[in-house]
Chains A and B, each alone.
Chain A
């Protein structure tokens, strides 16, 4: 069975500073990888995903994540954060051939301060 670890439960950062949210996964088969964002009192929104091809994937609002197979990681980064990025971020995986059932990490609360 697969599992996802997000070691940082909270990450405080000042506006315009860079940030990295860490995600590691464990699986006996190949996986697809996802980052979801959850704003207060809302459902989950897909931020970006890795299915195949280039290991560096980008979102429309400046986030990027790099799939590292040898380190089984999919860390999320942004070079300059904005107040509006304050939210909970979840890393998730689905196993190839296992349908699109998602296994989530416990989440990282990103708090951007002025």
Chain B
């Protein structure tokens, strides 16, 4: 089992650009959540997808959007990048979305905005 995988590992963009990050969940998992971890901070919940729809959303602007595909993989899109979007973006998958369902995290994508 490959676990949760994310691509790319690192990414450098300039202000105003758009970026797409990708996540493949652990085998058997149907729920994908995205988190933003700024330097020196704990991860912040962005949103969660299951059944190909956004089900929960944290306090992030509409510039952050996502998608879940029929094979449960997911994308995170960020438009109009600004310097404050520089962070480690973590994807987590789980076998369901109940409070007790453990989340398994991927290694993250390090986004740097110049």
List residues of chain A with CB under 8 Å of any chain B CB: 4, 6, 32, 36, 42-46, 49, 51, 90, 92, 94-107
Contact = CB atoms under 8 A, between A and B. Distances in A.
B42 A32 contact: no
Interface in B62-114: 90, 92, 94, 96-108
B24 interface: no
Interface of B: 4, 31, 33, 35, 40-45, 48, 55-56, 58, 90, 92, 94, 96-108
A37 B43 CA distance: 12
**What's the dominant secondary structure at chain B's contact region?**
loop
Given A43-B90, A104-B43, A98 B99 contact: yes
Nearest to B104: A46
Contacts, number: 70
B90 A96 contact: no
22 contacts: A32-B99, A32-B100, A42-B107, A42-B108, A43-B4, A43-B105, A43-B108, A44-B92, A46-B102, A46-B103, A49-B102, A90-B42, A98-B99, A99-B56, A100-B96, A100-B97, A100-B101, A102-B33, A102-B45, A102-B103, A107-B40, A107-B42
B98 A100 contact: yes
A51 B100 contact: yes
Contact of B103 (A90, A96, A98, A100): A100
Nearest to B98: A100
Nearest to A41: B107
Contact of B42 (A94, A100, A101, A105): A105
Contact of A102 (B31, B41, B43, B55): B43
A62 to B, nearest CB: 20
Contacts of A43: 4, 90, 105-108
Contact of B45 (A45, A51, A101): A101
